[in-house]
Amino acid sequence: MAGGGWARAVRGLLLDVSGVLYDSGADGGVPIGGSAEAVRRALATQKWRISVLGLMIAQLGSDSEAKWPWIKASGLKLQLCTNETQATRENFVRKLRAMGFDISVPEVTAPAPAACRLLKERGLRPHLLVHDDLVPEFAEIDKTNPNCVVLGDAAENFTYANLNEAFRLLIGMEKPVLISLGKGRYYKETDGLKLDVGAYMKALEYACDVQAEVVGKPAKRFFESALAELGVPPEQAIMIGDDIVNDVGGAQQCGMRALQVRTGKYRPSDENHPEVKPDAYVNNLAEAVDIILQHL
């Protein structure tokens, strides 16, 4: 990796979650680098409260979420910027806290709350093709007589019957509205790569001759919302993610620096992407945080 010039004058971090903090899976997922024990050890001994950050880094080692308390102690602002649509934010945060990450619901920018705001603003009534565990996010949204379709990472709900129902609703609308909670092609779980919502979005776009409105990464409005919640201007923020297009490319289009980690869905071919070039590649989140803290 090149030198750490990209790490200077940083006040805030936007972090992707799946593929950066942990690898998701049917069993709830596992922290990347097996660092849950390191986090528990750090919190138990209160080492993260030591003011000399360099000493803290040396003591805790290289595991990814072992750096989480230190990011907070360093004075850096942070916000999770995720396309997670298989759980409500509350349940998502509960899962991450169980893995050792000290975060709260307001520190998570996710597509479903943003989509709810959009639906209310425009008086849209959605037909939902989303994961069962995400449905509670839309509890206060009128869903009678749908005039749009909202598509999320529905996992096993992506059946032919469900996709065809969404298709029939859209094709029957005078002005079809398709809202997609992200546009990723695939993501990584503990048992391998999985198709993401973008693949199904493209199928409905093609069948209905409509262009989806993306709420989530890499949409510029979504990154701007995350930056507003972070309270840091784009030139003082860094996005760290495993998706070369949606994380890195989307952040750079908003004026941020962006790093790609070599974890999660990263593939060596990403480093030859014809359009998107990260400000740096890092082996994992821990390496990125080490370098950033050294430049504070």
Out of 17-21, 73-77, 146-150, the most confident range is: 146-150
b/e code 90-127 from CB counts within 10 Å (16+ = b): eebbebbeebbbebeeebbbbbbbbbbebbeeeebebb
Residues 258-269 have pLDDT tens digits of 999 999 999 999
C-alpha 239: how far from chain center: 10
Res 243: pLDDT: 97
Res 72: pLDDT: 57
Res 64: pLDDT: 59
Name the pLDDT band for 45 (thresholds 50, 70, 90): very low
Q: Which residue has the tokens 């002005």?
A: 175
Residues 115-131 have pLDDT tens digits of 999 999 999 999 999 99
Residues 214-254 have pLDDT tens digits of 999 999 999 999 999 989 999 999 999 999 999 999 999 99
Name the pLDDT band for 57 (thresholds 50, 70, 90): very low
Closest Cα to residue 1, out of 295, 267, 271? 271
Mean pLDDT, rounded, for 272-294 = 89
Distances (CA, A) of 278 to 183, 250, 252, 260: 19, 11, 8, 6
Mean pLDDT, rounded, for 76-102 = 90
63 has a pLDDT exceeding 70: no
54 has a pLDDT exceeding 50: no
Mean pLDDT, rounded, for 3-28 = 86
Q: Where are the alpha helices (DSSP H) in 147-208?
A: 160-171, 197-208
Res 40: pLDDT: 35
Res 43: pLDDT: 28
Tokens of 76: 């850096």
Residues 267-276 have pLDDT tens digits of 999 999 999 9
Res 46: pLDDT: 30
Of the listed ranges 7-16, 133-142, 219-228, 230-239, the least confidently predicted one is 7-16
Question: Cα(296)–Cα(294) distance, rounded to whole angstroms?
Answer: 6
Mean pLDDT, the chain, whole residue set: 86
